[in-house]
Amino acid sequence: MKNIDTAFHHVRGFTMLVIVCCVCISCFVVYKSFKWVTAVENRVYILANGRALQATASERQENIPVEARDHVKTFHRLFFTLDPDDKVIESNITKALYLADGSARKKYEDLREHGYYTGIISGNISQRIHIDSVAVETNSYPYPFTCYATERLIRTTSTVVRTLITKGFLRNVSRSDNNPHGFLIERWAILKNKDIKIEKH
């Protein structure tokens, strides 16, 4: 009877050890599986020229400064890139106005009322913009920004070079085909738009 009782204690202890080991292994497998699934979900494949290229998804918070700067640059390129063609002007301005609020529309309407776009068309002027830098402050919301750029108004006989400084705020909105970065420019204002030199051709 004593041997049977000892054997029973040994079997019970061994069984408990096996159960504890099984639970530990199961928890480890579940943890590793969850981690692997999360890593796979963050992996994105892009098809380019018949080849699958791997990209990694990241949290929006990590990309806010980059996306914010690109949003501001895109808006300014669309708003200030003009050619002597009313359809090109209308197309660019329409795309730009999806990225900003009524402050940009008001500026566009003011320029149109003062005959700015008519002058571009009648004078066969092409306007180009180079974004020098964009400063975005992400520590406060909505995010304030300042954009520094250089404009070139190209005529047949000369090119006028202007310095351009604007400011505004960025608010988060839903992403869409017309607004892929998910920002909206608010209270946009032109601080400086001044001729700095004229280049004769």
> 182: phi > 0 → left, psi -120 to 50 → alpha, else beta; which?
left
Residue carrying structure tokens 């002027």: 125
CA distance 112 to 92: 14
pLDDT at 118 over 70: yes
Q: What is the pLDDT of residues 75-113, one digit of tens each?
A: 999 999 999 999 999 999 999 999 999 999 999 999 999
What is the average pLDDT across 123-152? 94
For the segment 5-30, the average pLDDT, to the nearest whole number, is 85
Q: In the structure encoding, which two tokens stand for residue 68, read together?
A: 């914010």
Ranges of beta strands (E only) in 19-175 are 43-48, 51-56, 126-136, 143-154, 158-172
User: Can you give the pLDDT at residue 45?
Assistant: 61
C-alpha radius of gyration, the chain, whole number? 30
93, with CB counted inside 10 A (0-12, 13-18, 19+), is buried
Give the span between the Cα atoms of 96 and 112, in whole angstroms: 15
Which residues partner with 118 through β-bridges? none
CATH architecture of 61-200: Roll (3.10)
Average pLDDT, the chain: 87
Task: Report phi then psi at 177, rounded to 5.
Answer: -65, -35
The token pair at 164 is 């351009």
Question: What number is the average pLDDT over the span 150-178?
Answer: 93
User: What's the gap between Cα 78 and its chain centre?
Assistant: 15
Q: Are 93 and 79 in contact (CB under 8 A)?
A: yes
Query: pLDDT digit string (tens) for 29-85?
Result: 988 888 877 766 666 666 656 665 655 555 556 678 899 999 999 999 999 999 999
* Per-residue model confidence (pLDDT) at position 46: 63
| pLDDT score for 49 | 61
In the prediction, which pLDDT does 199 show? 87
